[in-house]
Amino acid sequence: MSEHLVVTGANFETEVVKSDVPVLLDFWASWCGPCRMIGPFIEELAAEYNGRLKVGKINVDEEGDLATRHGVVSIPTLVVYKNGEIANQAVGAFPKQNIEALFKDLI
């Protein structure tokens, strides 16, 4: 069962900016090989940190405005929000422990 949230322009403010817990955003696309490669890691982290971390996926083909707002020029791009602000970010495909390191000290 999927633990991630589909983030859109319509729910970004409520689900990300006003979140009580840190939010890991995965900017991705279905045609992106590296995005598909880290997808299982993102899902595992969403399940493992459920309740302590919110995990959202943003499809750059469907949510171009959000991608532009975040300066996304390459995917996958991972952005961590805490208290409504960007706390960390990384571009590229990484092992699960590297993705976890982006947010672990923020929880």
Domain range summary for the chain, segments of one domain joined by +: 5-106
What per-residue confidence (pLDDT) applies to 2?
A: 54
| Model pTM score | 0.95
CATH class as words, domain 5-106: alpha beta
Condensed to tens digits (0 to 9), the pLDDT of residues 36-52 reads 999 999 999 999 999 99
Strands 85-91 and 23-28: unpaired
Average pLDDT of span 70-83: 97
Catalytic residues: 32, 35
Sheet holding 77-82, edge to edge: 5-6, 54-59, 23-28, 77-82, 85-91
Please check whether residue 15 is in contact with residue 5, taking contact to mean a CB–CB distance below 8 angstroms: yes
Average pLDDT score over the chain: 95
Condensed to tens digits (0 to 9), the pLDDT of residues 65-76 reads 999 999 999 999
What per-residue confidence (pLDDT) applies to 1?
A: 40
